[in-house]
């Protein structure tokens, strides 16, 4: 049986959840009083908005290097985060995405 087939209200799921959460906190050497664990649905593309939400909290701005399709998708999703500015600081579009672009060391 897959975990997806178990009711989230069942004792079996609750035990699995608690054990997995405790194991992750222990593995990462995190104090459960200071950290919590979130298990979220979604795939890798969910991180396109989750990462900017976590990393851009102070300045509400991120820099993106346009290296192709997935970088473009990440920038498009990041723009949807309210109040976040997304700067494309370099792009490989000029070389048809065949090489990583030169990344500037300073930004405006």
Residue 33's pLDDT is 95
Residue 107 has pLDDT above 70, yes or no: no
Residue 104 has pLDDT above 90, yes or no: no
Give the pLDDT confidence of 27-52 residue by residue, as tens digits. 999 999 999 998 877 778 888 888 88
Give 40: exposed, middle or buried? Use CB within 10 Å, 0-12, 13-18, 19+.
Answer: exposed
- Least confident span in 45-54, 57-66, 72-81: 45-54
Give the pLDDT confidence of 17-26 residue by residue, as tens digits. 999 999 999 9
Return d(Cα 38, Cα 20) in angstroms, integer.
11
pTM: 0.61
């Amino acid at each position: 049986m897959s975990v997806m087939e178990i009711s989230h209200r069942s004792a079996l799921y609750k035990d699995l959840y608690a054990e997995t959460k405790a194991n992750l906190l222990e593995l990462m050497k995190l104090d459960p009083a200071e950290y919590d664990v979130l298990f979220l649905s979604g795939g890798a593309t969910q991180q396109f908005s989750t990462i900017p939400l976590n990393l851009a909290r102070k300045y509400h701005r991120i820099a993106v290097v346009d290296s192709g399709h997935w970088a473009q998708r990440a920038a498009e999703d990041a723009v949807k985060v309210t109040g976040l500015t997304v700067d494309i600081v370099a792009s490989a579009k000029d070389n048809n995405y065949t090489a990583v672009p030169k990344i500037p060391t300073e930004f405006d």
